[in-house]
Chain A
Amino acid sequence: MATDDSRILELYRSGERNQAFNLLVRQYGEQLYWHIRKLVANHDDANDLLQNTYVKAWNAMDTFREDSKLYTWLYRIATNEVLTFLNRKKIIGFLSLNANEAAFERKLTADENFNGTKVQLSLQKAVNKLPPKQKVVFSLRYWEEMKYEDMAEVLDTSPGALKASYHHAYQKVVDYLKKDLDIEN
């Protein structure tokens, strides 16, 4: 991956911008899409946020100084986009009667791009109840199995704080699942 990152930057800096862009999308497009999608659930929202991520990243390519990895840098931009989106949605949720758990479930089950089982639906509902940043921490660690050191770069938080945050999120999710699926210890 590091070799590809160097190649992308080399192409970009030598003025081969189209090639650099194609490689940037081929290398990270799908991965970033799933990272965003797992956090926002809806395809159209994920697509919009992915586009915003690439617009911002491409316009800031000149400022990328290789202090971090290209992949954590892109994840950071994508995650900030998602957090802004989720926080905005949360505020609207306070003002809207349709933004409750039942509405989330209805929307998800009606989505033709969601093929989850009952327990997977329950997990989505559990994760949806987490605060936005905790949701990101849970997703990066549980589904993407990202290292805490990389997560620290993405979220600009210490690995220790992230471990604590993941532990809390994990416990909340387990508690919700046990209750929702009626599972005993």
Chain B
Amino acid sequence: MKNNNDILQREEFRQNPFTAPEGYFTSLEDSLRDKVFATEKKPAGFVGVLKPALMMACSFAVILGIGYGILSMTGGLASQNAQMSEYDEIAAAVENMDPAMFEYLDELDFEGYQAQFTPSEEEILQYFATPSTDAALYHYLASIQ
């Protein structure tokens, strides 16, 4: 490197061209001490040691609070459970229906039946007034076919 680039070997380049303001180094100790001790970290006390754990506990409490608030405003878990149990009830009722009922419904000629079906007002009222079970519906449909 030296052979080809002797220019940087000149003493002039190695000399320091900068100066510091007068008296800067004599007052350096004091000025640095003022700055450093003013910003010195204080040793953590009892609260300081517990601070991270307290902050974490507070965060959990806030998250739980927000979650509870949202659930309360939207009707909560109870309403969701109620909706679920209603759904489960219908599903269970469908599952417990007589399979013959489905076979019968498959065989029915609904379009032809609808064309012929002209129930009177009294018959409609009676139909809605009768507690219907799948068996009752089966017998009713069989009687009017």
Q: How far is the CB of A11 from chain B (nearest CB, A)?
A: 14
CB-contacts of A19-47 with B (<8 A) = 21-22, 25-26, 29-30, 33-34, 37-38, 41, 43, 47
B50 touches A (CB below 8 Å) = no
A6 touches B (CB below 8 Å) = no
CB-contacts of A94-110 with B (<8 A) = none
Specify the chain B residue showing the minimal Cβ separation from A48: B35
Of the residues A29, A117, A142, A183, contact of B17 by C-beta under 8 Å: A117
* The stretch of A50-58, A83-91, A151-159 that contacts the partner chain: A50-58
Our count of residue pairs bridging A and B at CB distance below 8 angstroms stands at 92
Q: Decide if the interface of chain A is mainly helix, strand, loop or mixed.
A: helix
* The stretch of A71-79, A129-137, A168-176 that contacts the partner chain: A168-176
CB-contacts of B1-32 with A (<8 A) = 1, 4-5, 7-8, 10, 12-21, 24-25, 28-29, 31-32
Q: How far is the CB of B85 from chain A (nearest CB, A)?
A: 60
Of the residues B17, B24, B31, B36, contact of A55 by C-beta under 8 Å: B36
Specify the chain B residue showing the minimal Cβ separation from A24: B32
B139 touches A (CB below 8 Å) = no
Q: Can you sample 5 A-B contacts with CB below 8 Å?
A: A25-B29, A33-B25, A51-B36, A115-B17, A174-B8
Additional pairs, 17, CB under 8 Å, beyond known A43-B21, A59-B40, A185-B4: A21-B33, A25-B29, A33-B28, A37-B18, A37-B20, A38-B16, A41-B18, A43-B18, A51-B31, A55-B36, A58-B36, A113-B20, A114-B19, A121-B17, A173-B8, A174-B8, A183-B7
